[in-house]
Amino acid sequence: MLSLDLHPIYRNNRDIELAMRQFLFTAARSGEPAVEIIPGKGTGQLKRRVLAFLDQKHIKKLYLRHESPPGNEGRVIVHFREAR
């Protein structure tokens, strides 16, 4: 499973958005069934930013759904449609 760890760039808003955008477009093209984005646990502020990014209308078109696995709130799993 591909993963994107946001810890190294958590302070730079532009870098976070660019990294997530590139990662999701690459993941959607790769045919991976699911990928993970790791915002970490912390205060939850970075995770809220990740979820807000994923909920944008033009980004939602890339994937099927997203979830936070129970017991590991520091990750967001993004599921893609099956490749045809």
DSSP string, 32-79: -SEEEEE--STTSHHHHHHHHHHTSHHHHTT-SEEE--TT-TT-EEEE
In terms of pTM, does the model score above 0.75? yes
Residue 84 falls inside a structural domain: no
- CATH number for position 10: 3.30.1370
Provide the pLDDT for residue 81: 81
Residue 9 falls inside a structural domain: yes
Residue 69 falls inside a structural domain: yes
Q: How far is CA 53 from the centre of its chain?
A: 8
Report helix, strand or coil for 22: helix
Residue 82 falls inside a structural domain: no
Print pLDDT tens along the chain (84 aa).
Answer: 899 999 888 888 899 999 999 999 999 999 899 999 999 988 889 999 999 999 999 999 999 999 999 888 899 999 998 755
Provide the pLDDT for residue 41: 86
| Enclosing domain of residue 50 | 2-76
